[in-house]
Chain A
């Protein structure tokens, strides 16, 4: 694995304005992503986990500029994506693609599958019509679908097959970076495994760098090289796979891993429960966002936002009580 950094996120924050209630005029701000910095290495699969309100989806989308960051920058190789002009960005989109969570709404219902997969090629005017069809067929086979499916419509396919189509579409432009936003969460378990294996195979074949966003820890553990844990818009812990799952340090990571039910009845124990609810991203707690549910919280946790500091090489934790 090449150690080169392909995406560098620096102090990225993305805020959304929403109406604070149905009748009010004043807008409230959802602090979806707060001051996040991380680097993604070429060829790796970085897993991004978190619960609702963690900002993981928004972070992924902000990196490829589908949601405009409110501050900070995103370096893709040596280009700052936040400072590009619209036409430059459009051109660069060939290099960064996304696969969405919902297989049912992410494919245009009125377009044939072949046109959907080849849309990127048509947009950037790559190749002749025949060449495009050849490429589409190639992609369909790569994702495990029969070539003659290109004349069918999305509604004729199951969820798993549709996700394959989505992946084929994303790969059409030969991207370097792929954001997979919960690509298997909406699928049945038996199909999830198929898609996960396919993604691993394709990322190796195509040399992809992948940001794999999921709330399902077991899937992330299977597929990711490094993992970042997010909570209320901030990164709590970032480490490589084995370290994070075998030796987590942040209280939230520990609680999260405890909370996942293990599919082994011999290892039954009462559920260790993290009390309270996830605070709203409209009004995150001051200082460390996790302090309201943390067993180790002290007064100081309310005053300083803990920095993501390196405990040991490749293992970063944002907690002052570790």
Chain B
């Protein structure tokens, strides 16, 4: 059913009553929010709470350390030096050496990188998995939802550690196993949160309108659901990261995580356990990094969560 658009457009101009043709030119009052003065970026930064500013700073420093580990670490973290065992801090070894003479500082920096790397992978994979399942559950509902919900409940019921331990027992202690297991460790928190959000989004007319237009579910998920999920996902990812770091550290501490000579924060703490009196820095310096990392993420995560609660789009 085609119409000649051109002709009716011309007709419209002549037969339109004056009230209609002036409508949109009266409506050019501009954006409704024009009267809100925008604060400059730096003004907003200045307004932040001190704890948040410090957290950001710490995280930036740690991030730089992780990226530039090669340049920052003064020594090779894997190279033993049996002459210089358990040395106290000195000029060449600012944090001393460990029980086989490796430089503690370098080792800590590399440990940081390992832990962050593993946790980051876990966050990304876990989020991808959890978000996909959560969206599927919310979009398709029915059987899919029941299966996913049961899985979520199951994973919530069983302690993280148990799942990972079983995995290690079955698959061994290679690093890839560790990474895989940690990735699966917290997918369910994302899935639950995403599923809830999708459930409420799907009833919102703007999302349903896309379905009414004939969109496939996949397109709806990508173009309509995901943009509205970002705030929820960001909070979840920010909170998941410290959880995974601690999980990895716990495992490595127990000797079930990364295997020597690879260093991770938890592994170093485990190593340093025996030398708490003689060479406390072996355990202390990674602990400090660990605590700093986790705390800062928690603070930032809380702040982001507060932000997204208050934010409205109208």
Q: Which residues of A contact B (CB under 8 A)?
A: 64, 66, 90-94, 97-98, 100-102, 104-111, 119-120, 123-124, 138, 141-142, 144-146, 149, 152, 155-158, 161, 166, 169, 173-174, 176, 194, 197-198, 205-207
Residues of A within 8 Å of B207, CB to CB, are: 108
Min distance, Cβ A201 to any Cβ of chain B, angstroms: 8
- B214→A91 contact, CB < 8 A: yes
Residues of A within 8 Å of B212, CB to CB, are: 64, 66, 93, 97-98
Across chains A and B, the number of contacting residue pairs, with CB separation under 8 Å, is 99
B27 at the A/B interface (Cβ < 8 Å)? yes
Residues of A within 8 Å of B313, CB to CB, are: 109-110, 155
Residues of B within 8 Å of A205, CB to CB, are: 3, 8
Bound Cα distance A83, B27 (Å): 45
Min distance, Cβ A176 to any Cβ of chain B, angstroms: 7
Known: A145-B24, A146-B24. A156 touches B31 (CB 8 A): yes
B210 at the A/B interface (Cβ < 8 Å)? yes
Q: Which residues of B contact A (CB under 8 A)?
A: 1-3, 5, 8-9, 12, 20, 23-25, 27-28, 30-33, 204-216, 219, 223-224, 227-228, 313-314
Residues of B within 8 Å of A174, CB to CB, are: 1-2
Bound Cα distance A49, B116 (Å): 61
Bound Cα distance A145, B30 (Å): 13
Min distance, Cβ A177 to any Cβ of chain B, angstroms: 11
Bound Cα distance A123, B223 (Å): 11
Sample of 7 further A-B pairs with CB below 8 A, known A138-B5, A146-B24, A156-B32: A93-B213, A98-B212, A100-B209, A105-B205, A124-B214, A146-B25, A157-B32
Q: Which one of A105, A120, A161 lies within 8 Å of B213 (CB-CB)?
A: A120
- A110→B227 contact, CB < 8 A: yes
Q: Which one of A97, A106, A141, A198 lies within 8 Å of B206 (CB-CB)?
A: A106
- A93→B33 contact, CB < 8 A: no
- B210→A119 contact, CB < 8 A: yes
Bound Cα distance A85, B224 (Å): 23
Residues of B within 8 Å of A107, CB to CB, are: 206, 209
Q: Which residue of A lies closest to B204 (CB)?
A: A105
Min distance, Cβ A122 to any Cβ of chain B, angstroms: 9
Residues of B within 8 Å of A108, CB to CB, are: 206-207, 209-210, 224, 227
Min distance, Cβ B64 to any Cβ of chain A, angstroms: 33
Q: Which residue of A lies closest to B228 (CB)?
A: A110
Residues of B within 8 Å of A138, CB to CB, are: 5, 9
Bound Cα distance A97, B215 (Å): 13
Min distance, Cβ B221 to any Cβ of chain A, angstroms: 13
Min distance, Cβ B203 to any Cβ of chain A, angstroms: 9
Residues of B within 8 Å of A145, CB to CB, are: 24, 27
Known: A66-B211, A124-B214, A173-B213. A158 touches B206 (CB 8 A): no
Bound Cα distance A116, B231 (Å): 22
Residues of A within 8 Å of B28, CB to CB, are: 146
Min distance, Cβ B284 to any Cβ of chain A, angstroms: 47
Bound Cα distance A113, B289 (Å): 48
Bound Cα distance A138, B24 (Å): 14
- A123→B205 contact, CB < 8 A: no
29 CB contacts below 8 A, A to B, read: A90-B214, A90-B216, A93-B213, A100-B205, A105-B206, A106-B206, A107-B209, A108-B206, A108-B207, A108-B227, A109-B313, A110-B228, A110-B313, A120-B213, A123-B213, A123-B214, A123-B215, A141-B9, A145-B27, A146-B24, A146-B25, A155-B32, A155-B33, A155-B313, A156-B31, A156-B32, A161-B27, A176-B1, A197-B20
Residues of A within 8 Å of B210, CB to CB, are: 108, 119, 123
Min distance, Cβ A1 to any Cβ of chain B, angstroms: 16
Bound Cα distance A137, B86 (Å): 75
- A158→B27 contact, CB < 8 A: yes
Min distance, Cβ B283 to any Cβ of chain A, angstroms: 48
- B205→A106 contact, CB < 8 A: yes
Q: Which residue of A lies closest to B210 (CB)?
A: A119
Min distance, Cβ A196 to any Cβ of chain B, angstroms: 12
Q: Which residue of A lies closest to B22 (CB)?
A: A144
- B219→A123 contact, CB < 8 A: yes
- A120→B32 contact, CB < 8 A: no
- A66→B215 contact, CB < 8 A: no
Q: Which one of B2, B23, B211, B214 lies within 8 Å of A94 (CB-CB)?
A: B214
Residues of B within 8 Å of A90, CB to CB, are: 214-216
Which 8 pairs between the two chains have the least Cβ-Cβ distance? Answer: A93-B214, A106-B205, A156-B31, A109-B313, A100-B205, A120-B213, A108-B206, A90-B214
Residues of B within 8 Å of A142, CB to CB, are: 12
